[in-house]
Structure 1
Amino acid sequence: MRKIILSVIGVLLIIASFLFAQKLIADKNKPKPVQAKVVKTVFTDTVQNTTIPIVIAANGNLEAKRRLELYSEVQGIFKRGNKLFKPGQEYRAGQTLIKIDAAEYYASVQSSKSNLYNSISAIMPDLRLDFPDIYDKWQNYLNGFDLNKTTPKLPEMTSDKENYFITGRSIVSNYYNVKNLEQRLAKYSITAPFSGTLTEALVTEGTLIRSGQKLGEFIDTSIYEMEVAISKTYASLLKVGESVTLNNLDKTETYTGTVSRVNASIDPTTQTITAYIEVKHENLKEGMYLEANLNAKKESDAIEIDRNLLLESEQIFVVKDSLLDVIDVKPVYFSDTKVVLKNVPNGTVILKKAVPGAYSGMLVKPFKETSNTNNKY
């Protein structure tokens, strides 16, 4: 029985081997399928050289053109004024920003002025006797001397004898001592040199202010500047007074500015030059981020294409007899998305959109737009 089973298994293996061999022979004799050539459809454009305006894109933040950092040169208590010293508070030119209590110092100034007045009064009898020709001049000075007003300038001395006499009585030194005190007294009050807005306030009413302490910042909100860095290639093209178009990030607002200043030196690290754009508008705020478009120059006999169409070898693809080929070009300006090229002959058919996996000799078919017409029955 065992021999019969082994014999049957052997026969089955032989039959299976024969059938498998027949299948292999049949598959080997089958003809290989011929792969159809794939022709990619591409978008093309015919070159026509024109004059391309070179517009330099730059960006930056607005800063107030006129800014005043407020510091105290004297010490005292911050007195309350007509307006609260708070950020956002507006002041007109000449209005008091900060007033520090100067009652004690004012008394010392008045005392020095009184001493000066007394010193001049004491020499008047001697002037009447020894210098009658200058007596009236000094008498008129005393008559115009008001302790509640700024000390008037001393009369001009016309002779050496007069100069020696007046100086010997310490009148000149007392006068300049008084003027020095008056100058310091004026520092107890800080006024706005221009109309603007307080953007930073570091003290409040009743605060003890110390000499050298920063009090806040005050800016002119009517005019701003934006600092932009431009490549040194265009350093000679930037001109003061040239108009500049500015946009916000959302492209919803457009402003017009002018180039107010151009730095004379180039940054050695970045090889850029700094330009300052002046702009005025009621909607502008300090710190606002804007994009600027500066008209640098116009490039004649050039074309503008997408940057992704330019190869690293400074070549572009062209279409010749349904095949892709490459030609050498000369890039003259790069923007974020575009590149301006020269040395591309008129009439050359180039790619309008990039083709993935493109290579020289690739078979392509230019895309042709067809107009659909509706037939009415």
Structure 2
Amino acid sequence: MLRKVILSVLGVALIVGAFFFAKYLVDNKNKPKPVIPKVVKTVLVDTVENTTVPIVISANGNLTAKQRVELYSEVQGIFKTGSKLFKPGQKFNKGESLIRLDASEYYASVQSAKSNLYNSIAAIMPDLRLDFPDVFPKWQSYLNGFDLNKSTPKLPEISNEKENYFITGRGIVSSYYNVKNLEQRLTKYRITAPFTGILTEALVTEGTLVRNGQKLGEFINPSVYEMEVAISKSFADILKEGESVSLTSLDNTKIYNGKVSRVNGSIDATTQTITVYIEVKHDDLKEGMYLEANLNAEKVENAIEIDRNLLLDSQEIYVVRDSLLDVIPVKPAHFSNESVVLKDIPNGTIILRKPVPGAYAGMHVKAAKNNTTTNDSIQ
């Protein structure tokens, strides 16, 4: 009996519970769905105004002295101490002695050869007086002006064939050129500065034995430098000598003005580039400095320059039309590391100034009224 009562109570409770659950479902069926807010990105835009855009080619390289001399010895001797030390950083004026080698022994042989020449000419003077009285005065004058302590003067000009045979037959001409050869070699014991400059490398010191063919050091002119850069072959017919170049240091703190001094006439077959030499002058510059050059190659008419990241792989860019993004095809005229030059985009076209993450054609956007960063606004 008790069991039937319990089952009846449970049945009634189940029916009541089912009634209230059904009522809850009916009440919530007509409840409106939640409205999902629409996200509109705020973007930075620019209005196209076509102008003439100069194409600037960026290149970099190290400075080298335009005037550089590698010093080598052509003779052998002891390095003698001079008025200035032969050390890196030492300055020399044009014509000053860079290096002097002991030439006392060789100098004696030169003087001996000059004396023999003098004696040979003196020995033929009696014959000249008798057989060639008309040429005797000029040879007498030559002997009077002959000074063993000075460079050997040029022989008198031979006026006729008989005189030529006579002078040549006595060995005068061969002796003269032998002396001049020795004198020329004597000058190699002293190396002078070909221009005002500075010694950048010294491989020998005073008192050491210098051998024939030995490298002694390097001497440069620190007032004029050149930088060698490699430019794409597409600019081979555009770059010309005399073009102005802006050079900047690594820290971008200083700008130097240079010019294109030379353009190589051949193209590197491996890299397909052409070598350009840029000349620059400034007191702050040193050999070996690393600089970046900006060369004005050409000018593109009816074009604009934008961030390279704004150009899509399909050669298109995003534009804004009625608060929607769209794409238009473009004609790239020049690429640089950070920008691209585009031609023939209609004036007044509204384009993006900065890339928009996740952008697609048909995307709703809002043009920013200032240069604030891109953000999301909820409408």
TM-score between the two structures when normalised by the length of structure 2 = 0.87
Mark the runs of 5 or more structure 2 residues left unpaired by the alignment: 1-13, 373-379
Equivalent residue for 2:181? 180
Shift of 1:280: 1.3
Number of the residue aligned with 1:102: 103
Between the aligned partners of 1:242 and 1:197, the Cα distance in structure 2 is: 29
The AA in structure 2 aligned to 1:169 is R
Deviates further, 166-175 or 253-262: 253-262
State yes or no: 1:148 paired with 2:160. no
Per the alignment, residue 287 of structure 1 pairs with: 288
Structure 2 counterpart SS, 1:360: coil
Deviation per CA, 1:120-174, whole angstroms, max 9, x where unpaired? 1111111111111111111111111111000111111111111111111111111
Q: Measure the CA separation in 2 of the matches of 1:368 and 1:122.
A: 106
Query: d(CA) in 2 for partners of 1:370 and 1:333?
Result: 27
Matched length: 351
What residue identity is the alignment partner of 1:140? S
d(CA) in 1 for partners of 2:171, 2:352: 93
C-alpha separation in 2, matches of 1:213 and 1:348: 70
Quote the residue 1:324 is aligned against.
Answer: 325
| Residue 134 in structure 1 maps to residue 117 in structure 2 | no
RMSD: 2.4
CA distance in 1, matches of 2:151, 2:371: 90
Matched, 1:73 2:79: no
80-89 or 278-287, which deviates more: 278-287
Distance 1:172 1:339 in 2: 74
The one-letter code sitting in structure 2 at the alignment partner of 1:350 is I
The Cα shift of 1:33 comes to 5.9
Query: Residues 326-357 of structure 1, C-alpha deviation per residue, up to 9 Å, x if partnerless?
Result: 11101111222111111211111111110112
Deviations 1:7-56 (A, max 9, x none): xxxxxxxx9xx99xx9xx98xx8998664443222212221111212222
Please say which of residues 80-89 and 129-138 is displaced more in the overlay. 129-138
Counterpart Cα distance in 1 of 2:245 and 2:153: 52
The structural deviation recorded for 1:183 is: 0.6
- Please list the CA deviations of residues 218-250 of structure 1 after superposition, one character each: whole Å capped at 9, or x if unmatched: 001111111122222222222212222222122
Matches of 1:369 and 1:187, distance apart in 2: 74
Q: Deviations over 1:81-101 (max 9, x none)?
A: 000000000000000000000
Provide the secondary structure at the position in 2 that maps to 1:187.
helix
Query: Given the superposition, is the C-alpha separation of residues 369 and 220 from structure 1 closer, same or farther in structure 2, using an over 3 Å criterion?
Result: closer
1:161 — aligned with what? 162
2:285 and 2:117 map into 1 onto residues whose CA distance is 53
Alignment of 1:184-223 (within 5 A): 184-223=185-224
2:376 alignment partner in structure 1: none
**Separation in 1 of the partners of 2:369 and 2:197?**
62
Distance 1:337 1:133 in 2: 86
Distance 2:371 2:61 in 1: 46
Cα distance in 1 for partners of 2:66, 2:370 equals 54
Give how far 1:192 is off.
0.4
State the alpha-carbon separation in 1 of the partners of residues 371 and 348 from structure 2: 22
